[in-house]
Chain A
Amino acid sequence: MTLAATAGHPGFLSPTGVEIAFVLVGLVTFGAALITVTTKQLVHAALWLVVALGGIAVEYLLLTAEFIAWVQVLIYVGSIVVLLLFGLMLTRAPIGRSPDADSGNRGLALGVAVASAAALVWVVVDAFRTTWINLEGPAQGSTKASGEFLFRHWVLPFEALSVLLLAALVGAIVLSRKEGKDGKDPGGGVGAKGSKGGPRGKDRHVMRDRTDRTDREDRTARTARTYRTDRQEQSAASREDMS
Chain B
Amino acid sequence: MNDVLDVALRLAIVFAVFMVVPLVVGQAEHKVMAHMQGRLGPMYAGGFHGWAQLVADGVKFAQKEDVVPAAADRRIFQLAPAVALLPYLLVIVAIPIGPSEGAVGQVVDAGIFFVLAVMGVGVLGSLMAGWASANKYSLLGGLRTAAQLLAYELPMLLAAASVAMAAGTVSLPGILNAFEWWWLPWQIVGALVFFVAGLAELQRPPFDMPVADSEIIFGAYTEYTGLRFALFLLAEYAGIVVLCGLTTVLFLGGWHGPLGADGLGWVWTLLKTGVLAFVVIWLRVTYPRLREDQLQKLAWTTLIPLALAQIALTGIVKVAIN
Q: Residues of A at under 8 Å CB distance from B?
A: 43-44, 47, 50, 66-67, 70-71, 73-74, 77-79, 81-83, 85-86, 89-90, 93, 95-96, 139, 142-143, 196, 198, 200-201, 203-204, 207-208, 211
Contact = CB atoms under 8 A, between A and B. Distances in A.
Q: Which of B108, B132, B134, B143 has the most CB of A within 10 A?
A: B143
B55 interface: no
A71 B127 contact: no
A70 B117 contact: yes
B291 A203 contact: yes
Given A43-B73, A79-B153, 20 more contacts: A43-B76, A66-B108, A73-B117, A73-B121, A74-B157, A77-B117, A78-B116, A78-B120, A81-B124, A82-B123, A93-B139, A95-B72, A95-B73, A95-B134, A143-B110, A196-B292, A198-B293, A204-B215, A204-B291, A208-B136
A73 B110 CA distance: 12
Interface of B: 71-73, 76, 108-110, 113-114, 116-118, 120-121, 123-124, 127-128, 130-132, 134, 136, 139-140, 142-144, 146-147, 149-150, 153, 157, 169-171, 215, 291-293, 296
A60 B198 CA distance: 28
A38 to B, nearest CB: 18
B243 to A, nearest CB: 16
B130 A143 contact: no
B290 to A, nearest CB: 11
A207 B140 contact: yes
A139 B169 CA distance: 16
A86 B150 contact: yes
Contacts of A208: 136, 140
B241 to A, nearest CB: 20
Contacts of B124: 50, 77, 81-82, 85
Contacts of A96: 73
B150 A204 contact: no
Contacts of B171: 143
Contacts, number: 111
A90 B140 CA distance: 9
Contacts of B110: 66-67, 70, 142-143
Contacts of B131: 43, 85, 89, 93, 95
Contact of A143 (B109, B143, B146): B109
B239 to A, nearest CB: 15
Nearest to B108: A66
B146 A47 contact: no
A134 to B, nearest CB: 17
A74 B117 contact: yes
A204 B113 CA distance: 33
Contact of A67 (B109, B120, B293): B109
Contact of A89 (B71, B120, B123, B146): B146
Contacts of B71: 95
Would you list the 8 A-B pairs with minimal beta carbon distance, nearest first? A78-B120, A74-B117, A86-B146, A70-B113, A73-B117, A203-B292, A67-B110, A203-B293
Contacts of A83: 146, 150
Given A77-B121, A82-B127, A82-B150, A89 B143 contact: yes
Contacts of B121: 73, 77-78
A203 B153 CA distance: 22
Contact of A86 (B72, B73, B116, B143): B143
Contacts of A86: 127, 143, 146-147, 150
A133 to B, nearest CB: 16
B117 A207 contact: no
A79 B215 CA distance: 27
A70 B150 contact: no
A186 to B, nearest CB: 17
A198 B297 CA distance: 13
Contact of B120 (A44, A79, A85, A139): A79
27 contacts: A44-B76, A66-B108, A67-B113, A74-B113, A74-B117, A74-B120, A78-B117, A78-B120, A78-B121, A78-B153, A81-B124, A85-B127, A85-B131, A85-B142, A86-B146, A89-B131, A95-B72, A95-B131, A95-B132, A143-B109, A143-B169, A143-B170, A198-B293, A203-B291, A207-B140, A207-B143, A207-B144
